[in-house]
Amino acid sequence: MRKYSLLGTLIVITVLAALLPVIGAPKTWLLYLFYFYVFLAAANMWNLLAGFSGLLALCPAAFIGLGGYTMTILTWWGIQYYIGIIVGGVVAALFAMLISMSVFRMKGVYFAIGTLVLPAILKLVFLRWKPVGGDFEGGGAGYMVKGVRAIPPEVTYWLALGIGLASMVLILIILRSKFGLGLAAIRDNDISAASSGINVFGLKLSSFIIAALVMGVVGGIFYMNNGYIEPNNAFDINWLMIVLLATVIGGKGLEWGPLFGTVIVVALRFQLARYAGISLLIQGLILVVIMLVAPQGIVGLIRDLRKKFMNQQNKKLPSSS
C-alpha cells in the first residue's frame, strides 16, 4: 500500500512540475527548478558510485563535459540537439568503459586520485582541439550550440525534469534488485562479496558505465540550456563540488539523500554567486562542517532522531503482564 501511495505522490508531483511552464510560472522558478533537476540527476549517479558501489570517483566533470561537448559539436554537423544529448551520454559511457581498464586497477585513495585528474586531462585536450569551426571557434574559445535560439525554453525545462525523474526511478529500481544487493555487499566488503560468488568487477563496471551515461545526458541538457560550452567550465571542479555537497548534505548511501541535499545546493549556488572568488572555499567549509556534525547527512539525521523518538515512546508504554 505504501509503495502505491509513494508512486501516486510521485506522479502527481511530476505532472504539476511539468505543467509549470504551461501555466506561466515565473521564469526564476523555472530556472531554479532546471538547476535542481540536472544537479539531482548528477548527484544521484555519484551516490550510486560513492554511496552504493564504494567507488569514490572524482570525475563527474569528465562525463558531464564530454556529454556537453558531444551534443554541441554534433549541432555544428547539422544533427538535432535531442540526438546529440543521447549520443553524448553514449560517448561518456564509452569513455567510462575505456578508462575503467586503468582506474579499476587502483584501490582506495589511488582510485580517487586517478579519477580526479581525468577532467584536467580532458580540459587540456579541448583547450587545443578544434574539431569544427574557424579562427574564433573551438579550443579555448569554446562553441556556441547551433540552433539553440530555436529551441523553446519549456523544452529544455522538460528535458531536465525528465532526466531528474529518470535518475530517481533508476536508483529506486537498482536498490530493489539483485544488482543493488550485490553493490551493497561490495561496498561493505568487496573481498567477502567476491568469495560469496559476486562478480565484483562486473557490478562496479556496470554502475560506473550507468553513472557516466546519465551524467553525459545531464551535460548535454545543461549546456544546451547555456547555449555555449568552453573547456574551463565544462571540466571544472565545481561539478565535483556540486555532487559532493548534494550527496553528503543529504546523506551519502541513502536513496533520498541527494534529493534533499540538492535543494540546499541550488540555494547555495544562487546565494554564493555574489562571492564568486571564494565560493569554492565557502562550499568546502560547509562540506567539512556537515561531515563533522551530521556524517549521515540530513536524511540520516532525521532517521536517527525518528528512531530515538520511537524508542522513547516505546519505553513509556506500559508493559503487558
In this predicted model, which residue has the larger pLDDT, 3 or 102? 102
Instruction: Say which amino acid occupies 33.
Output: L
In the chain, where are the structural domains located?
Answer: 17-236, 237-316
- The whole-number pLDDT of residue 185 equals 86
* Cell numbers describing residue 288: 567539512
Residue 56 phi/psi, 5° resolution?
Answer: -80, 70
Give the span between the Cα atoms of 279 and 283, in whole angstroms.
Answer: 6
Q: Is the pLDDT of residue 226 over 80?
A: yes
Condensed to tens digits (0 to 9), the pLDDT of residues 125-152 reads 999 999 998 888 999 999 999 998 888 9
DSSP 281-292: HHHHHHHHHHHH
State the first-to-last Cα distance of the chain, in angstroms, to the nearest integer. Answer: 33
- The whole-number pLDDT of residue 197 equals 86
Half-sphere exposure of 249 (CA within 13 A, CB side): 24
Using an 8 Å Cβ cutoff, are 128 and 252 in contact?
no
Using an 8 Å Cβ cutoff, are 247 and 261 in contact?
yes
Instruction: Say which amino acid occupies 284.
Output: G
DSSP E strands, the chain: 143-144, 228-229
Whole-structure pTM value: 0.92
Give the span between the Cα atoms of 61 and 117, in whole angstroms.
Answer: 10
Condensed to tens digits (0 to 9), the pLDDT of residues 288-308 reads 888 888 888 888 888 877 787
**Radius of gyration for the chain, computed over Cα atoms and rounded to the nearest angstrom:** 21
CA dihedral 107→108→109→114, nearest 10 degrees, is: 40
Percentage of the chain surpassing pLDDT 70? 97
Give the span between the Cα atoms of 60 and 44, in whole angstroms.
Answer: 11
3-state secondary structure (DSSP) of residue 228: strand
* Mean pLDDT in residue range 245-267: 92
- Using DSSP bridges, classify how beta strands 228-229 and 143-144 pair: parallel, antiparallel or unpaired: antiparallel
* Mean pLDDT in residue range 46-50: 95
- The whole-number pLDDT of residue 321 equals 44
CA dihedral 130→133→139→143, nearest 10 degrees, is: -130
